[in-house]
Protein backbone atom coordinates (compact mmCIF):
# COMPACT_ATOMS: atom_id res chain seq x y z
CA UNK A 1 0.00 0.00 0.00
CA UNK A 2 1.37 3.39 -1.03
CA UNK A 3 0.45 6.80 0.31
CA UNK A 4 0.95 9.23 -2.55
CA UNK A 5 0.79 12.92 -1.66
CA UNK A 6 0.46 16.03 -3.78
CA UNK A 7 2.02 19.31 -2.74
CA UNK A 8 1.05 22.84 -3.77
CA UNK A 9 -2.16 21.76 -5.51
CA UNK A 10 -4.17 24.80 -4.41
CA UNK A 11 -2.89 28.17 -5.52
CA UNK A 12 -3.76 30.05 -2.32
CA UNK A 13 -2.01 27.43 -0.17
CA UNK A 14 1.14 27.67 -2.30
CA UNK A 15 1.00 31.44 -1.91
CA UNK A 16 0.48 31.33 1.87
CA UNK A 17 3.74 29.38 2.25
CA UNK A 18 5.59 31.52 -0.28
CA UNK A 19 5.97 28.72 -2.82
CA UNK A 20 5.94 29.05 -6.59
CA UNK A 21 2.92 27.75 -8.51
CA UNK A 22 4.02 24.41 -9.99
CA UNK A 23 3.84 23.63 -13.70
CA UNK A 24 3.23 19.95 -13.01
CA UNK A 25 2.12 18.03 -9.91
CA UNK A 26 4.52 18.00 -6.96
CA UNK A 27 4.58 14.39 -5.75
CA UNK A 28 6.00 12.85 -2.60
CA UNK A 29 5.37 9.60 -0.73
CA UNK A 30 4.65 8.63 2.86
CA UNK A 31 5.54 5.11 4.07
CA UNK A 32 2.78 2.79 5.25
CA UNK A 33 4.06 3.26 8.81
CA UNK A 34 2.90 6.89 8.65
CA UNK A 35 -0.76 5.82 8.57
CA UNK A 36 -2.35 6.50 11.93
CA UNK A 37 -5.06 4.18 13.17
CA UNK A 38 -8.31 6.11 13.21
CA UNK A 39 -8.96 5.79 16.94
CA UNK A 40 -5.46 6.79 18.01
CA UNK A 41 -4.51 10.23 19.24
CA UNK A 42 -1.77 12.11 17.42
CA UNK A 43 1.32 12.55 19.58
CA UNK A 44 3.57 15.48 18.69
CA UNK A 45 7.09 14.08 18.20
CA UNK A 46 9.77 15.29 20.59
CA UNK A 47 12.06 16.37 17.73
CA UNK A 48 9.82 19.14 16.37
CA UNK A 49 8.38 22.34 17.80
CA UNK A 50 6.03 23.23 14.92
CA UNK A 51 3.65 20.55 13.62
CA UNK A 52 0.98 21.78 11.20
CA UNK A 53 -2.28 20.21 10.08
CA UNK A 54 -3.04 20.02 6.34
CA UNK A 55 -6.54 18.75 5.53
CA UNK A 56 -6.96 17.03 2.18
CA UNK A 57 -9.43 15.12 0.07
CA UNK A 58 -8.14 11.54 -0.15
CA UNK A 59 -9.09 9.00 -2.83
CA UNK A 60 -8.53 5.26 -2.56
CA UNK A 61 -7.46 3.29 -5.61
CA UNK A 62 -9.81 0.40 -6.36
CA UNK A 63 -7.99 -1.42 -9.17
CA UNK A 64 -4.45 -1.86 -10.42
CA UNK A 65 -3.22 0.35 -13.25
CA UNK A 66 -0.19 1.70 -15.06
CA UNK A 67 0.01 4.53 -17.62
CA UNK A 68 -3.66 5.33 -17.07
CA UNK A 69 -5.16 7.80 -19.51
CA UNK A 70 -6.87 10.72 -17.84
CA UNK A 71 -10.19 9.95 -19.57
CA UNK A 72 -10.22 6.50 -17.93
CA UNK A 73 -8.94 7.56 -14.49
CA UNK A 74 -12.40 7.70 -12.90
CA UNK A 75 -12.61 3.89 -13.20
CA UNK A 76 -9.69 3.51 -10.77
CA UNK A 77 -11.21 5.03 -7.61
CA UNK A 78 -14.59 4.75 -5.93
CA UNK A 79 -14.07 5.87 -2.33
CA UNK A 80 -13.10 9.21 -0.81
CA UNK A 81 -12.53 10.68 2.62
CA UNK A 82 -10.87 13.57 4.43
CA UNK A 83 -7.31 13.10 5.59
CA UNK A 84 -4.69 15.10 7.43
CA UNK A 85 -1.10 15.36 6.25
CA UNK A 86 0.70 16.31 9.46
CA UNK A 87 3.87 18.22 8.70
CA UNK A 88 6.80 19.13 10.95
CA UNK A 89 7.08 22.60 9.45
CA UNK A 90 10.29 23.59 11.21
CA UNK A 91 12.04 20.43 10.02
CA UNK A 92 10.64 20.83 6.51
CA UNK A 93 11.85 24.43 6.28
CA UNK A 94 15.34 23.43 7.41
CA UNK A 95 15.49 20.61 4.87
CA UNK A 96 14.17 22.77 2.03
CA UNK A 97 16.72 25.49 2.78
CA UNK A 98 19.47 22.92 2.18
CA UNK A 99 17.84 21.48 -0.94
CA UNK A 100 17.23 18.17 0.83
CA UNK A 101 14.21 15.82 0.61
CA UNK A 102 11.21 16.40 2.89
CA UNK A 103 10.59 12.84 4.07
CA UNK A 104 11.55 13.33 7.71
CA UNK A 105 9.06 16.19 8.03
CA UNK A 106 6.26 14.47 6.13
CA UNK A 107 6.60 10.70 6.49
CA UNK A 108 7.11 10.19 10.20
CA UNK A 109 5.01 7.68 12.15
CA UNK A 110 1.37 8.73 12.49
CA UNK A 111 1.66 11.66 10.09
CA UNK A 112 -1.07 10.41 7.71
CA UNK A 113 -4.61 10.37 9.06
CA UNK A 114 -7.60 9.08 7.09
CA UNK A 115 -11.22 9.42 8.05
CA UNK A 116 -14.11 7.10 7.35
CA UNK A 117 -14.27 6.07 3.70
CA UNK A 118 -17.35 7.15 1.74
CA UNK A 119 -18.53 5.50 -1.48
CA UNK A 120 -18.46 8.05 -4.26
CA UNK A 121 -21.19 6.33 -6.28
CA UNK A 122 -22.40 8.47 -9.17
CA UNK A 123 -21.42 11.73 -7.51
CA UNK A 124 -18.85 13.97 -9.13
CA UNK A 125 -15.84 15.06 -7.13
CA UNK A 126 -16.73 18.65 -7.86
CA UNK A 127 -19.91 18.17 -5.85
CA UNK A 128 -17.90 17.45 -2.70
CA UNK A 129 -16.82 20.02 -0.14
CA UNK A 130 -14.41 19.15 2.62
CA UNK A 131 -13.49 21.09 5.69
CA UNK A 132 -11.50 20.93 8.92
CA UNK A 133 -12.28 22.40 12.31
CA UNK A 134 -9.84 22.99 15.14
CA UNK A 135 -11.49 23.16 18.55
CA UNK A 136 -14.87 23.66 16.81
CA UNK A 137 -13.64 26.58 14.70
CA UNK A 138 -13.41 26.03 10.94
CA UNK A 139 -9.85 26.51 9.72
CA UNK A 140 -9.91 24.97 6.23
CA UNK A 141 -12.51 24.64 3.51
CA UNK A 142 -11.83 23.04 0.14
CA UNK A 143 -13.42 21.91 -3.10
CA UNK A 144 -11.79 19.74 -5.78
CA UNK A 145 -12.80 22.28 -8.43
CA UNK A 146 -10.14 24.59 -6.99
CA UNK A 147 -7.27 22.14 -7.47
CA UNK A 148 -4.54 23.13 -9.90
CA UNK A 149 -4.44 19.50 -11.05
CA UNK A 150 -7.66 17.50 -10.76
CA UNK A 151 -7.83 13.96 -9.40
CA UNK A 152 -8.07 12.33 -12.83
CA UNK A 153 -5.07 14.31 -14.06
CA UNK A 154 -3.15 13.33 -10.92
CA UNK A 155 -3.87 9.63 -11.47
CA UNK A 156 -2.71 9.88 -15.09
CA UNK A 157 0.46 11.67 -14.02
CA UNK A 158 1.33 9.46 -11.06
CA UNK A 159 0.68 6.21 -12.94
CA UNK A 160 3.36 7.11 -15.47
CA UNK A 161 5.94 6.65 -12.73
CA UNK A 162 4.34 4.29 -10.18
CA UNK A 163 2.03 1.36 -10.78
CA UNK A 164 -1.13 2.07 -8.83
CA UNK A 165 -2.45 -0.86 -6.80
CA UNK A 166 -5.69 -1.57 -4.98
CA UNK A 167 -5.66 0.14 -1.60
CA UNK A 168 -3.21 2.88 -2.53
CA UNK A 169 -4.24 6.32 -1.29
CA UNK A 170 -3.76 9.67 -2.94
CA UNK A 171 -3.71 12.75 -0.70
CA UNK A 172 -4.70 15.35 -3.28
CA UNK A 173 -3.35 18.52 -1.69
CA UNK A 174 -4.48 21.03 0.92
CA UNK A 175 -6.25 24.38 0.55
CA UNK A 176 -5.18 27.51 2.40
CA UNK A 177 -5.57 27.79 6.16
CA UNK A 178 -2.93 25.36 7.41
CA UNK A 179 -1.62 26.00 10.89
CA UNK A 180 0.02 24.63 14.04
CA UNK A 181 -1.36 22.17 16.55
CA UNK A 182 -0.79 21.93 20.30
CA UNK A 183 -1.52 19.35 22.95
CA UNK A 184 -5.21 19.39 23.80
CA UNK A 185 -6.42 20.48 20.35
CA UNK A 186 -9.18 18.50 18.65
CA UNK A 187 -9.33 18.34 14.86
CA UNK A 188 -12.47 17.20 13.02
CA UNK A 189 -12.84 16.63 9.29
CA UNK A 190 -16.08 16.90 7.33
CA UNK A 191 -17.15 15.76 3.89
CA UNK A 192 -20.27 17.62 2.72
CA UNK A 193 -20.99 18.43 6.39
CA UNK A 194 -20.74 14.77 7.45
CA UNK A 195 -18.09 14.24 10.11
CA UNK A 196 -15.69 11.54 8.96
CA UNK A 197 -12.60 12.23 11.09
CA UNK A 198 -11.69 13.21 14.64
CA UNK A 199 -8.18 13.47 16.07
CA UNK A 200 -7.07 14.58 19.52
CA UNK A 201 -3.59 16.09 19.77
CA UNK A 202 -1.35 15.00 22.65
Q: What's residue 124's pLDDT? A: 87
Distance of CA 84 to the CA centre of its chain: 6
Q: What's residue 38's pLDDT? A: 63
Q: What's residue 21's pLDDT? A: 76
Q: Lowest mean pLDDT: which of 44-48, 52-56, 122-126, 168-172?
A: 122-126
Mean pLDDT of the region 116-139:
94
Helices (DSSP H) in the chain: which residue ranges? 11-16, 89-97, 103-106, 151-161
Instruction: Please check the confidence at residue 19 and state whether its pLDDT lies above 90.
Output: no
User: What's the CATH architecture for 3-200?
Assistant: Alpha-Beta Complex (3.90)
Strands (E), 9-153: 26-30, 35-36, 51-53, 55-61, 77-85, 87-88, 112-114, 118-119, 130-134, 137-142
pTM over 0.85: yes
Q: What's residue 89's pLDDT? A: 97
At residue 142 the predicted structure's pLDDT band, cuts being 50, 70 and 90, is very high
Helices (DSSP H) in 98-141: which residue ranges? 103-106
Amino acid sequence: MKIICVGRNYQKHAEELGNAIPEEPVIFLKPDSSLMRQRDAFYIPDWTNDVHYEAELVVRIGRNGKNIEERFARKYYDQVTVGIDFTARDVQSALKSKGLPWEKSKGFDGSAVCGQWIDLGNRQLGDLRFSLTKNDQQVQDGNPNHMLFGVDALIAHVSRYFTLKMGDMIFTGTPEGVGPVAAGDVLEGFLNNEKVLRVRIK
